[in-house]
Amino acid sequence: MKNPLFKLKFLFLPIIMGISFSFKVFSQIENETAFEIKRIIITLHEKQSIEVEGVAVFSKTILPIFYETRNFEKGWVSDESIDSTMKAIERADFEGLNPADYHIDILKKLKAEIDSVENPNPNTEAHFDLLLTDAVLLYAKHLFDGKVHPEKLESTWNLQKRVFNGDTLGILQDGIANNKIPQILETLKPQGTMYKGLKEYLAHYMEISIKGGWERISEGETLRHGMVNERVKAVRKRLAAEGFLPDMGMSIPFADLVILDSITSNEKRVDEFFDREMADAVARFQSHYSLDVDSAIGKMTLNAMNVPVEDRKNQIRVNLERSRWVMGNLGKDFLIVNIAGFELFLIKDGEEVWHTNVVVGKKYHETPVFKNQIKYIVFNPTWTVPRSIVEKETLPKMRIDPNYINSNQMEIVDYSGNIISQNSLDQSSLTISKFPYMIRQKPGDHNALGRVKFIFPNSYSIYLHDTPSKSFFSRTSRAYSHGCVRVENPLILAEKLLDDPVKYNQEKIQEILKTNKTKSIFLKEKLDVILLYWTAEIHPDGKLYFKEDVYGRDKAVLKELDEGRPKI
């Protein structure tokens, strides 16, 4: 559904499509600029598309109405309003957008032509006026809910776009007449700390790019604190370029000088020495890039350092676009999973109150992006093994081990609910086409879902749950599941969601678990749960953290973001 920001309902349009305007009607307009504006608007009504100065006009509704209500006279009569609006459009790159999408080059060319003569060409004035209005409408649309259509990239996307309930035409008219367009554009952007923080860091990386970025560091042995190596000099420059080290001379602590003296008694190669300050900077870099923090420069850290600054700028741009898709329409209370960050955040009254690590789907078992509502929690759940896993994993193991079902606390169940013994099955029946049963794992610590699962009914059979495989949470990259989201501290999450310190504190929850009986408890109020994919995010400390593009989804967003033709 197209955004109401660019759809207003009117009882009638001043000009009705299909009407042929005679020469007499045109001749009633003495102003040649208005005459050209009217000609273009009529063509737009008739054909629903038109190019002006080789540029496709975006707005099919608001732009025509704007000019019809003013009898096709120019809208932009204040030089101050024109200048401030064009400056705002020129700064679209600071939003991660491309000023060229908003006709900026042709607008500057036309304005230069108008300013260079005493009596500008009426057609030039008309074209400039129309394209500037169109540029504002298109830029406003992109700031409000994004340029890219996420549903075209994510088949599971079901998040609703923001709805604008204001008087679009009135706001546009007032903004142009009273030099308020830059302020209006500012109010359309997401206002949360995520968007603002990403913008600040984009400006930071744009500045680094202007200064030349950073050079590639050659491969070699892992560099650690205390080493002297010619590659250290390049690493030092790399860290300084991004701000992890001061771009100045070194001040080596006494303890490091002792180490340096013990390594070389000849020339003290200070700039090639991996000192403590540098080790601390490497640790900050690793945290910033969501790497294992060991203060050493191994393969993963080196690869991250060698990503060009342009790629990091684009990574931020992609996530600014994702912010525009969702940040203005989240509500105050929700639970959000960042799939790429392997994190879960609980938000209350718009503020993060708790977070924990999660494990998400591995490649080829990707966790989908979508929104739903958590309705209830199941303690001591059983696990019905998905048919795909039965075929690819369970049946092959059953063919090898006659006791596989019992040893894994499972049971074979027919569709009438009867329990079937593995020993009663013929080996030849252990193929998916000859296996008319379900396999269910009993409740307990061994259960693949652990001791609790969080249900938000959906067509993808995705839910949050506990897991007996706790070791994965200690890893930096955590894409190991079959698609569901494993939660590191699920019992704490259950307590927070049930929000009843008397009935469902940790002690009471443990009593439920000890029964080993399945129990479902509904939440007092359903809670929105949103599974998203962010490869750059701002944490509560205000710092930017890059995440692994584990599913390789950034490339498609960037391609659409950089596509020259606006998405209408």
Count the neighbouring beta carbons within 10 Å of the beta carbon of residue 203: 14
Q: What are phi and psi of 347, to 5 degrees?
A: -115, 130
**Beta-sheet strands, E only, within 381-494:** 383-384, 410-413, 419-420, 438-441, 452-455, 464-465, 479-481, 485-487
Residues with Cβ within 8 Å of 332's Cβ and at least 6 positions away in sequence, in order, are 347, 348, 349, 350
Rounded CA-CA distance 301/306 in Å is: 9
Q: Catalytic site residue 365?
A: no
Exposure on the CB side of residue 203, measured as CA atoms within 13 A: 9
d(CA 495, CA 150) in angstroms, rounded, equals 34
What Cα–Cα distance (Å) separates residue 89 from each residue in 84, 102, 439, 548?
Answer: 9, 7, 60, 32
> Which of these is catalytic: 225, 465, 482, 539?
465
**What DSSP element (H or E) covers 554?**
helix 554-562
What is the Cα–Cα distance from 85 to 271, expressed in whole angstroms?
49
User: In this structure, what are the phi and psi dihedrals at residue 8, rounded to the nearest 5 degrees?
Assistant: -120, 140
φ, ψ for residue 17, nearest 5 deg? -60, 145
Calpha distance 353→383 (Å, rounded): 30
Q: Which two tokens mark 264? A: 């070389």
φ, ψ of residue 457 in degrees (nearest 5): -50, 130
| Whole-number Å distance between alpha carbons of 92 and 96 | 7
The CB-side HSE value for 70 (13 A sphere, CA atoms) comes to 24
Residue among 298, 279, 287 nearest 476 (CA): 287
Is the distance from CB of 286 to CB of 242 less than 8 angstroms?
Answer: no
Q: Which two tokens stand for residue 257?
A: 């000088």
Q: To the nearest 10°, the Cα dihedral for 244, 250, 254, 257?
A: 110
- Tell me how many degrees the CA angle 185-335-483 measures, rounded to the nearest 5: 110
Query: Which one of the listed residues 149, 446, 484, 539 is annotated catalytic?
Result: 484
Neighbouring residues of 205: CB distance < 8 A, sequence distance ≥ 6? 309, 312, 313, 316
Q: How far is CA 221 from CA 58, 90, 105, 245, in A?
A: 55, 46, 49, 22
**CA–CA dist 77, 423 (Å, integer):** 88
CA dist., res. 228 & res. 244, Å (int): 20
Rg of the chain over Cα atoms, rounded to whole angstroms, equals 31
Catalytic residues: 465, 484
